[in-house]
A and B are shown apart, each in its own frame.
Chain A
Amino acid sequence: MYQTGNMVKELAEKHGRKRESLMPILQEIVRKHNYLTDDVMVAVATELDISAAEVYGTASFYTFLDTQERGKNVIRVCKTITCSMKGKNDIVSTLEDILKIKVGETTPDKMFTLLETNCIGWCHKAPAILINDMPYTDLTPETVIDVVKGYMR
């Protein structure tokens, strides 16, 4: 959980209070806090003068607008065919080992969430993952450990 404070009001000032402002506002909240709480969605609905169901209905449509609690760093492992052929399962099991969580879970210290995702557009450098916005490609079980360690500090 995180406190919303003036954040939603400030974002509405920045992006506007029209319906088309909704996505940029939700995207910026997720970038800052990794997921959307019920409280923040209600606050956005109030600010934009639409129903909270509209906000939740929109957010829940989009994979990257998480409405469940997520860690500070969200790791998304590409599971589409080329990454799958080029060792995605080894990457997932390595990540599960070092983070001590399963796909879909968040570490107890809320530092990492491990997810699988559909094609992220790096098939020529498979296997690939996204950590937050950053892609990492041509991974091996060894290199993915180094990458994740960089986010542990």
Chain B
Amino acid sequence: MKNKGLTKVDLIFESIDIMKVMKKAFEMTSDEIIQQILESGLKGRGGAGFPTGLKWKYTAAEKDPEKYIVCNADEGEPGTFKDREILDKVASKVYAGMTIAGKAMGARKGFIYLRGEYRFLLPQLFVELHKFHKLINEIGYDFSIEYRMGSGAYICGEESALFESIEGFRGEPRNKPPYPTVSGLFSKPTSINNVETLVTAVMIIEKGANEYFKLGTKDSRGSKVFSISGDTPIPGIFELELGMTVQEFVNEFGDGDTKAVQVGGASGFCVPRKKFGETIIGFEGVPTGGSMKLFNSSRSMYNLLHNYLDFFAEESCGQCTPCRVGCQQLLKGVEKVKKGEAKSTYLNELVKLADTMKVASKCGLGQSVGNAFKSIVENFREEIIY
């Protein structure tokens, strides 16, 4: 597999002339904008990685005159904090991204769902938004954005749960299909995109799809903002070209004693030292919404697993049985094994339960609990037992 190494990039936080890029987009047809995003190879930056251009194309294809563009700023995945930084530093690029997406698919209205934990940002974001609305009014373009706040529920980052929350209900995910592009917010065709995705789309319009396509690998085009924390001398937010191996990442960000890297947060994968060299950070290896947590040899992987399971047991919405009961049983199960109340082979039963949750859970939460669970149990089995 082609290996690109570790390269720092400056696209997301680069300051640009917002008006210039929007004018460029306004001169393009809807199809031309969508074509640019498709050609760039951009996949959603929230973690799931659905091709952004397709999402816009499907929404554009719907006949309903009322459509929405929703910006998912419910950044709740443990270890992710890049969307907060993006909104803090370049909110106007987020607004521009929503406007361009709106133009591409015929939406006149946008909503930003901001997690309650980031409410302190709101006064400044309103100032920026007011300026932005003035700017697009001046050129006579009809588009507006509203904020909606979350109230401390991780599950509301799931797209259909987020819609339920904006509509005033419990944040319980819906059955799919229908997908949001057909029936999303208020049952209207909706494109819901992550904060970073929208800013990336702006930069693709600004630089051209060809330029963006040059970055990254076949399966993971472009660059990505990473949230880096844990046992590292330089925790923070870094934009890197996609396609590096975990080893290259650890060489740059590790403390010299890195035992494991959790890629993609609690719902992501734990990569042990022996697999650093062969594992690519991206859709061909371990996908990530940006959360990168480093753990050195002083850390207990049991504590890590227990912390994650405790998180999921609390944050499961409780709607479907595999997730609600599964999270609790995984948590109780590893506690029993650790205390010696269950045999170590009980872990194999728990792995089967995690597999069942993957196929039987209604949404991404329950489906991905097994990612961290299995990768930690399989790679650090002795730490879970003893």
Q: A147 to chain B: which residues have CB within 8 Å?
A: none
Assembly CA distance A20 to B185 (angstroms): 11
Assembly CA distance A123 to B304 (angstroms): 14
**Number of A-B residue pairs at CB separation under 8 A:** 116
Q: A68 to chain B: which residues have CB within 8 Å?
A: none
Partner of B151, one of A23, A81, A85, A126: A23
Partner of B152, one of A62, A79, A122, A124: A62
B95 to chain A, nearest CB (A): 20
Assembly CA distance A26 to B315 (angstroms): 21
A123/B166 in contact, CB under 8 A:
no
B212 interface hit (Cβ, 8 Å): no
Q: B76 to chain A: which residues have CB within 8 Å?
A: 118-119, 121
B77 interface hit (Cβ, 8 Å): yes
Q: Which residues in chain A, 125-145, are within 8 Å of chain B measured between CB atoms?
A: 125-126, 130, 133-135
Assembly CA distance A23 to B151 (angstroms): 9
Considering the complex, give the chain B residue whose CB is closest to the CB of A26. B151
A46 interface hit (Cβ, 8 Å): no
Considering the complex, give the chain A residue whose CB is closest to the CB of B153. A62
Interface residues as binary, A49-72 with B (CB distance below 8 Å gives 1, 0 otherwise)? 000000001100111110000000
B151/A121 in contact, CB under 8 A:
no
B119/A133 in contact, CB under 8 A:
yes
Q: Size range of the interface on B?
A: 35 or more
A123/B79 in contact, CB under 8 A:
yes
Assembly CA distance A122 to B149 (angstroms): 19
A84 to chain B, nearest CB (A): 6
A20/B166 in contact, CB under 8 A:
yes
Given contacts A62-B153, A126-B229, contact A120 B117 (CB under 8 A): yes
Q: B317 to chain A: which residues have CB within 8 Å?
A: 61
A93 interface hit (Cβ, 8 Å): no
A24 interface hit (Cβ, 8 Å): yes
Considering the complex, give the chain B residue whose CB is closest to the CB of A62. B151
Assembly CA distance A26 to B318 (angstroms): 22
Considering the complex, give the chain A residue whose CB is closest to the CB of B149. A27
A118/B230 in contact, CB under 8 A:
no
Besides A81-B303, A121-B80, A133-B119, 10 more A-B contacts (Cβ < 8 Å) are A21-B168, A58-B168, A58-B170, A62-B152, A62-B153, A63-B152, A80-B266, A81-B266, A82-B79, A130-B117
- Top 8 closest A-B pairs, CB basis? A63-B152, A123-B229, A62-B151, A64-B152, A124-B235, A22-B168, A61-B170, A64-B151
Chain A interfacial positions (CB closer than 8 Å to B): 18-24, 26-27, 30, 57-58, 61-65, 79-82, 84-85, 117-126, 130, 133-135
Residue pairs across A and B with Cβ atoms less than 8 A apart, 20 shown, are: A19-B169, A20-B168, A26-B151, A61-B172, A62-B153, A63-B152, A63-B153, A64-B151, A80-B307, A81-B266, A81-B293, A81-B308, A82-B79, A85-B230, A85-B299, A119-B78, A121-B84, A121-B118, A123-B79, A123-B227
